[in-house]
Structure formats: C-alpha cells, structure tokens
Amino acid sequence: MARTDKRLSAALRAAQRGDQDAFRRLYRAVQPRLVRYLSVLVGEAADQVAAQTWQEITQGLGDFRGDFQRFRGWITVIGRGRALENLRGRDPGAPTSRQQPAPAGDSGDADRATEPPSTDAAIALIAGLPADQGEAVLLRVVMGLNTRQAAEILGRTAEAIETTTHQGLRNLADRLERAGAPPRAGDEPGAEVNRP
Amino acid sequence: MSFDRHPSDRNAARDLDEDTAEDLLTGIWRDPETATHPVAGLLAAATAPPTARELRGEDAAAAAFRQARLESRRRGRLGRTAHRALLEIVTAKVVIALAVAGTAAGGAALAANTGHLPVLESPPRSPAPASPPATTKATRPAPPPGQPRHGPPGASTAPGTPHSSALAGLCRSFLALERPGRGRKPTVPPRSSAAEFAPLVAAAGGHAKVAGYCEKVLSGKQHKKPDDPSEKKPKGPPGKEKKKDKPGKKKEKKAKRVKGD
C-alpha cells in the first residue's frame, strides 16, 4: 500500500506538470472507489457526480499541494460536496438519498458460500449500515482516508470516527453472520477460535 | 440503531475486537488471522479492482484534464495562484488565531513573551488610544531592551514589529509571489508551505496590508525614506486610518489633515 501510494504520489506530481498518462493512472486508482462511495450517497447519480468531481479536480490540480494521501482527502471533499449539492437539487418526493446499489445478480446461489461477495454486494451491505457508520467505513476503507481526514470531512473528532468505524465493522460482521453466508465460510475450520 | 449487538450474538460471530478492526481499516495486519475474518473478505470486495464500467469516464476525464491545462496556461504560470490562495487562507487563520488569543487571553501571554503587543496594536479599527496624532509616538510601547533595531527608526515600519530584517526577507519572497499576473482563485484546499508568511501577515496586521507593509519595509531599508522624516508620522485618527500603503502620498495627505486640525 505504501509503495502504491508512493507511485501514485509520483503520478500526481507528474499529472500536475501536465502528464496526461499520469493523470489517467490517478484516475484509474481513484475513480472506482469514488464511484462506490458516491453510489451510497446519491445512488444512480454517482457517475454524473463523479464526472463533476473530476472536472473540478482537473481545474484545481495545478494548484494542489500535497501527496497522494492528501489528494484522496481532497477528492473526497469535492466529491462529497458535489453529492450533497446533487441531493439538495432533488425533488423532496424523489427516492431517498441513500440508495443502495442493486445486489449482485451475477453469481448463482449455489456457489455463493465459496464466492467472495461481489463489489456491489459489499457496497450494498455497507450502505445498509446506519448512515454515520456507513460513511465512516466508506471514507476509511474505500476512500482510504486516515482517521484524522475522515474526522475533518465529517466534522467530528477523530475519537468519534474511530468508535463509529469500529461499530460499523462489528455491525458488518453481525450482518454477515446473520446472512448465513459468510464469504469465506469453510475456509477456516479454526476460525471459530476466539481471538485473545 | 437497529443493529446493536444482542448479548446472544456476542459469541456467535467471530469476535471483531478493536485491534482486528483497526487492522482491517489500515490494511496492516498484525495478526494474519485478520485476513480470514469474514469482514476482511467484505472489505476486499468493496475495494476490488475496477470494472470496465467504473472506468468508462476515463476519456472524458482526460479530456477535461487537457482542457484545464490549456486554460491554466492561458491564465499564466501554474503555481502562482496556489501561493495566493495559500496566503489568503493562512492569513485568515492567523488573523483568527490572533483575534482569539487577543480576546481569550487578553493579550497577556503575548505581552509576556515579547514585552509588547506588536500585533494587537496594529490592526485597523482596534480601539487605538485616543491621543492627538502628534503624540502617537508616546503611546507606542518602547521596543524591548536588547532587541536590535533594523530598518528606519520610527513609524516607517509598523510600530513595534519584531525582527524586521527577517520580515524584510519574507517581504521579498512575498512580493515576488504577489506581483505577477493574478489568476482566478483555485479551489485547491489549503495546507502546506505558506505558513512561513504567517509572521509577516501578523506584523502587517492582515493579509490585505502585507503588500503595502512590505513596500514600506523594503523602501525604508533600501533608500532611507526619500520624502519623509518618518519620525513625525502621525498615526491618524483612531478607527479611520487603514494602513499606510505608500509612504509618500498618504503621508502628505495626512500631514495636511494634521495641519488643518
């Protein structure tokens, strides 16, 4: 992860100097996660909001100062702002903001137990968490922000974010358990052993 | 919250303690068993490599990138605008911090440190001592003992500014950044570097005043104040005087006003 970050920090600098290929590398690294995060906030408008976000990113890129970690924070701030804008512009009667992506339909039920969940299914599960937990998990895990960055963006303390994120993960564990199809069931016979 | 754990769940699910949670979040697994936790699989799926569908906007983004490059080249050299934005933001922070320090601590801490209140004295509209302009000098605190005086004596540098030679250096860099063509304000977030200008901003009493302040500092240093005996420079009526921008013109005006009084 650290090495990837270093490479992407280098790509970031190159993109700031005008290297389009470097910019594409950045895009490929960030966009999928951005869209997944945004899909939880704005549902199907995620692609559109992501495009607006990139538009803004390209305009400010030359002036941005910081490494890739900071860049992640920046793009999250912009993406989230655009998402909230998008939500504000909606009909009050429109479907709820926290639309969940359709659960994965591509894997047959038969091999479900051995298949890892699809990305969509995973995001849908996270989206089903209480809003604060879901967003905290998304910021930390999907957007790759650290606690401090997430805290800044959500306007809470780092401790609060830590607690909320852990709650979110525990909730996810419970939900997986209840679903009865933990993605790795059967992998680990010794998995039941309680950790110290 | 609908999914709080029930006591009965506690042992049913594999325990997800704080350490495991943190490992999962950071991706640095102190315990290899973390990898086998069901939630690890879930998070891995959430961060799986992109599908083609997710990257279908790439060409459009690249086009936006090229467009932005063209525009920025038209705007002028890249980077300058960033410094402007940084300065503005840092300035705002410093000003707020000073205001807070001033109100919360009553300036006592500052006073204790420096022997006077260089910053709190200079901002506009601060209730300056209501003394006649000609006697302003008396209301100015004396420089702390042992502090070398650089630059012209008297009011040509802002009253009581410490380390004016260091400030002169900062001024030069500041003006170098400020002068070239101004671009539009970027949407880039703050941070990094320009904290170096904070002392300068503080000494000038605000970002808007830095340029004028610097011109004064530098002109004073370089050619000993062409047209002004500086010592007599009146401080102006409280609350009205904004900040002396150009040493020459404004002073003349002010001198007239003083005479008129």
Quote the mean pLDDT of chain B. Answer: 58
B76 contacts in chain A (CB < 8 Å)? none
Neighbour-count burial of B15, counting CB atoms closer than 10 A to its CB (0-12 exposed, 13-18 middle, 19+ buried): middle
What's the pLDDT band for B90 if we cut at 50, 70, 90? low
- CA of B195, closest CA in chain A: separation in Å? 13
Query: What pLDDT was estimated at residue B231?
Result: 43
Residue B18 has pLDDT above 80, yes or no: yes
CA distance B4 to A181: 20
- CA of B229, closest CA in chain A: separation in Å? 43
- Which of B31-45, B58-72, B98-112, B134-148 bottoms out in mean pLDDT, i.e. has the lowest? B134-148
Residue A151 has pLDDT above 90, yes or no: yes
Q: Could you say which DSSP state residue A106 is in?
A: S
CA distance B242 to B229: 21
Q: Who among B3, B45, B64 is closest to A117 (CB)?
A: B45
CB contact under 8 A, A116 and B44: yes
Residues 191-230 of B with CB under 8 A from A: 191-193
- CA of A100, closest CA in chain B: separation in Å? 14
Neighbour-count burial of A144, counting CB atoms closer than 10 A to its CB (0-12 exposed, 13-18 middle, 19+ buried): buried
Residue range B228-237: mean pLDDT, rounded: 44
Residue range B116-133: mean pLDDT, rounded: 37
Neighbour-count burial of B231, counting CB atoms closer than 10 A to its CB (0-12 exposed, 13-18 middle, 19+ buried): exposed
Indicate if ipTM > 0.85.
no
In Å, how far are A55, A83, A86, A131, B88 from A90, measured between CA atoms? 21, 11, 7, 19, 34
Q: Which of A63, A137, A142 to mutate to test the interface with B (most CBs of B within 10 A)?
A: A63
Q: Who among B45, B67, B193 is closest to A119 (CB)?
A: B45
A119 contacts in chain B (CB < 8 Å)? 45-46, 48, 51
Indicate yes or no: pTM above 0.80.
no
CB contact under 8 A, A195 and B61: no
Q: Who among B15, B54, B61 is closest to A54 (CB)?
A: B61
Q: HSE of A187 in the Cβ direction (CA atoms, 13 Å)? A: 16
Between A42 and B146, the more confident residue is A42
- Which of A48-52, A107-111, B46-50, B201-205 bottoms out in mean pLDDT, i.e. has the lowest? A107-111
pLDDT digits (tens, 9 = 90+) for A58-96: 999 989 999 999 999 999 999 999 999 999 988 766 555
Between A157 and B246, the more confident residue is A157
Residue with tokens 């869209």: A35
Whether residue A40 contacts residue A131, with contact meaning beta carbons closer than 8 Å, is answered with no
Residue A191 has pLDDT above 80, yes or no: no
pLDDT digits (tens, 9 = 90+) for A94-105: 555 454 444 444
* Whether B69 contacts chain A with CB within 8 A: yes
